[in-house]
């Protein structure tokens, strides 16, 4: 689980190193994982209804004895602070649990344009 302290570190790092303005909306990507692709397909419809853009569902390409793991990638242009991103992560952990997904696996960020 991503902690609030990790969010503080992320924002501090972005302020020092990212080539974008944190005071403006950015493109935030969010990731969910499950071995059952159908569960992710059902979840994507619910997330799309909440205004998220679905980027896709990808196979992790299993190696050796590990079973395949599917990844749902969604994104949304929005402005976050440490507190709002921490709240979003908590919302997605709860969503993953409600949808019986294996995990909410976190986020990434980039420029909105």
From the number of C-beta atoms within 10 Å of its C-beta (0-12, 13-18, 19+), residue 55 rates as: middle
Q: What is the pLDDT of residue 92?
A: 98
> What digits encode the pLDDT tens for the residues 70-96?
999 999 999 999 999 999 999 999 999
Domain boundaries, the chain: 4-10+26-61+68-107
Residue 25's Cβ-side half-sphere holds a number of Cα atoms within 13 Å equal to 7
**Residue 19 carries which DSSP code?**
S
> What digits encode the pLDDT tens for the residues 28-72?
999 999 999 999 999 999 999 999 999 999 988 766 666 679 999
pTM: 0.92
Q: What is the pLDDT of residue 68?
A: 76
Coil, helix or strand for 40? helix
Written out in words, the top-level CATH class of the domain with range 4-10+26-61+68-107 is: alpha beta
Which is it for strands 70-78 and 26-34: parallel, antiparallel or unpaired? antiparallel
């Amino acid at each position: 689980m991503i902690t609030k302290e990790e969010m503080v570190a992320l924002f501090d790092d972005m302020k020092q190193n990212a080539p974008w303005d944190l005071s403006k909306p950015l493109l935030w990507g969010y990731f969910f994982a499950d071995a059952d692709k159908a569960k992710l397909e059902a979840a994507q419809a619910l997330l799309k209804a909440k205004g998220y853009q679905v980027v896709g569902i990808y196979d992790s390409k299993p190696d050796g004895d590990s079973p395949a793991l599917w990844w749902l990638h969604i994104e949304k242009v929005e402005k976050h602070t440490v507190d709002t991103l921490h709240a979003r992560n908590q919302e997605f952990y709860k969503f993953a649990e409600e949808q019986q997904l294996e995990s909410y696996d976190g986020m990434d960020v980039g420029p909105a344009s």
